[in-house]
Amino acid sequence: MIKKEQNDILTLGIETSCDETSVAVVKNGREVLSNIISSQIDIHKRFGGVVPEIASRNHTMAIINVLDQALTHANVKLDDIDAVAVTYGAGLVGALLVGVSAAKAISYLLDKPLIAVNHIRAHIAANYLNDSDLAPPFLCAVVSGGHTELVDVKDYTHYEILGSTLDDAAGEAFDKVARTLGLGYPGGPEIDKLAKQGKNNIEFFKTAKIISDDYNFSYSGLKTAVINYLHNARQREQEININDVCASFTYYALEPIVQKAFDAARELGYENIALAGGVAANSYLRQRFDETGKKYDINVYVPSLKLCTDNAAMVASMGYYNFINKVNIADLTLNAAPSL
């Protein structure tokens, strides 16, 4: 069995907000003892996106087995757990309810605190699992399938959102453009792969348009620009270089995030900047953050690929900080908050 010192706190994390059923055990908010992820991507692929009802049903079928595996891999018993942390929003309501119900049952059974975790805050906490030296304050760009936000992380449980998307999220734009290009779901990894072999040589926008003065983002115009480009090229029977479309789209989608995130970090005088969310797995974004960090002498933190996309270890880490700061301690009335 795992050696647990008297002051150690083990949090069980549960994540079912979208199409990953995940349970993890994390020690003292920083050390991943297990992080089991059962992905439904192959099930939803044939529909070109996540089907909410199918997602809920598959979470229900997977959750007990995933919990079992998480405890076994961590080499702990359910009794060793000190707090149960669960994503209660944002996400798909039926999917969230599976995790929330499981967490309530375990918390009741163990008579241990139930901690409600905001999914976006959990993505930010993925950085604490990767780098034991990272501590607030820092600037975090949260870029996922549902969110595109610049967050001033003032403390572990104290945040200010400086800007966000006015329409689609960045990941959503990757998925929609991929669908238009006839690529698979999820679109982000596919576009990432093809962009590496292409050139950024299609001007979807004038640069000034994507660098607005505030910290907000917009993706619907870019999505339309790519669709129009493809439509016109097909009508004129011009050859379309998909790799170049992917490279150019990636530039217009992600360069504003690089520029604005570093502008914000410099304005705040922060020495540290972090990336979070599924789109943080993008190789262009990771490289540009690295380069720009060196240019401005700002330390860049990026979670490992497994910790970028949805997983329960990040939920357990955020849950730990909520727990020790007495924030979001829930009870059996906890409900899913789909649009948190």
What is the x/- site pattern for ligand KG4, positions 162-181, by CB under 6 A? Answer: ---------x--xx------
* Residue 260 beta carbon to ligand KG4: minimum distance, rounded to whole angstroms: 18
Q: How many alpha carbons lie under 13 Å from residue 264 in its C-beta half-sphere?
A: 28
Question: DSSP readout, 305-317?
Answer: HHHHSS-HHHHHH
For Zn ion, the binding residue among 310, 316, 323, 330 (CB under 5 A) is 310
22 secondary structure, DSSP code:
E
Binding flags for Zn ion, 228-257, as an x/- string (CB under 5 A): ------------------------------
Beta carbon of residue 340, minimum distance to Zn ion (angstroms, whole number): 12
Whether omega for the bond prior to residue 126 falls within 30 degrees of 0, making it cis, is: no
Binding ligand KG4 (rule: CB under 6 A), the pick from 89, 163, 189, 256 is 189
Window 123-152: residues binding Zn ion (CB under 5 A): 144
22 interface partner picked from ligand KG4, Zn ion, none, CB below 5 to 8 A per type: none
What's the CA gap between 144 and 87, in Å, rounded?
Answer: 15
d(CA 72, CA 174): 36
> Out of 35, 148, 165, 309, which residue is the one contacting ligand KG4 (CB under 6 A)?
309
Q: Give the nearer residue to ligand KG4 in terms of CB position, either 10 or 313.
A: 313
Q: Quote the distance between the C-alpha of residue 63 and its chain's center.
A: 20
- Residue 73 φ then ψ, to 5°: -65, -35
Closer to ligand KG4 by Cβ: residue 163 or 187: 187
Instruction: Examine residue 89 and tell whether it contacts ligand KG4 (CB under 6 A).
Output: no
Cα separation values, 49 from 41, 52, 227, Å: 9, 9, 19
Q: Which of 126, 118, 123, 155 has its CA nearest to residue 138? A: 155
For ligand KG4, give the closer residue by CB, 198 or 277.
277
Compute the distance between CA of residue 11 and CA of residue 16 in angstroms, rounded to an integer.
16
Q: Which of residues 320-339 bind ligand KG4 (CB under 6 A)?
A: none
Q: Is 249 in the site for ligand KG4 (CB under 6 A)?
A: no
Whose tokens are 């922060």? That residue is 270
Contacts to ligand KG4 by CB under 6 A: 18, 144-146, 171, 174-175, 186-189, 192, 277-279, 281-282, 309-310
Contacts to Zn ion by CB under 5 A: 144, 310
